[in-house]
Structure 1
Amino acid sequence: MTETHTIRPAAATSRRALFRPILVLLWCFLAVSAAMIAFLAVLASVGVGVDIAVWIRSSFVLASSVVLLLLGVFAARGSRASWVRLRIIAPIVVLAVVVIVAIPGFLPDWVRVEQAVCGALVLPVAILANLPRAGAAFRRDA
């Protein structure tokens, strides 16, 4: 007789419940980032010049939102590797936002506000993903 491995339904349900607020925050992060790119495209289409640094920074933020969302989705589905990456990358994104927002004159104020909103959305993700209860959802049974 072969041994089958099944996912414990209670653990999977608990993990999904744990990741629900994380996924909501990450979807909001993606929405804000995509809205910024769309806004920049509208500005460009009506002839308003936007500094290339704003385009580059906004593109990086959008890319990081996609990566974090994918990691969050896979972690919610049970991927320990995705959870570990989320635990590492989310605080790095928050730190990068703090540094960028803190540099005086680097970005226009309206972009700095958008960046601060993005940082405010990712900060709770970094905290929640690093809580002991998140680790308990991915503990390895001996």
Structure 2
Amino acid sequence: MTNTNAPQVSTGIAALRRAAFRPVLLLLTGFLVVSAAMIAVLVAMVVNHASVDTAIWIRCSLVLASAVVLLLIAASAARGSRAAWIRLRIISPIVVVAVIVIVSIPGFLPDWVRLEQAVCGLLVLPAAIIVNLPRMGRLFPKAVSSATA
């Protein structure tokens, strides 16, 4: 006799997981858009013969790369990868702390870049909080090993 409830239960958890990750994916997509827009601004500045400091290029490129990585990891977690969820729980707060440190260093970046970086941090912060909530952990139950089953 087969258990017909098993697929329904896993489908129910998958739907709950997708719904729980919707705001995270939206916030991280916003992070990606803001980061990509900043690179576009830097390119436009260079095309118009403005000087852009190397530190700004490096910082903004790293922020864009972190946005891509976080969004890819979040998408994988939303599809049910427990490992991706754990990575996201670790990396997203690190990104927030890195942004806070960079923004708080006086004179390191121009104010307009610091503002963009702060906006990025404000987009990642709620995502970092959401993925670390206990209710998210319930959507990623630990696998039962065959030795204990």
**TM-score interval, smaller chain:** over 0.9
Partner Cα distance (2:12, 2:117) in 1: 38
Q: What is aligned with 2:18?
A: 16
Work out which of the residue numbers 49, 72, 78 in structure 2 matches 1:76: 78
Q: Any idea what the Cα deviations from partners look like across 1:48-95, whole Å, max 9, x if unmatched?
A: 001100000000000000000000000000000100000000000000
Q: What is aligned with 1:103?
A: 105
Partner Cα distance (1:141, 1:113) in 2: 43
Partner Cα distance (1:17, 1:78) in 2: 12
1:139 to partner: Cα distance: 1.0
- Runs of at least 5 residues in structure 1 that lack an aligned partner in the other structure: none
Counterpart AA for 1:123:
L
- How many residues of Structure 1 are paired with residues of Structure 2 in the alignment? 141
Partner Cα distance (2:123, 2:51) in 1: 28
Secondary structure in 2 aligned to 1:8?
helix
Question: Taking structure 2 as the reference length, what is the TM-score of the superposition?
Answer: 0.90
Q: Which 4+ residue blocks in structure 1 deviate beyond 2 angstroms?
A: none
Q: Percent identity?
A: 62
1:141 to partner: Cα distance: 5.4
Work out which of the residue numbers 81, 90, 96 in structure 2 matches 1:94: 96
- Runs of at least 5 residues in structure 2 that lack an aligned partner in the other structure: 145-149
Q: CA RMSD in A?
A: 1.7
Larger-gyration structure (1/2): 2
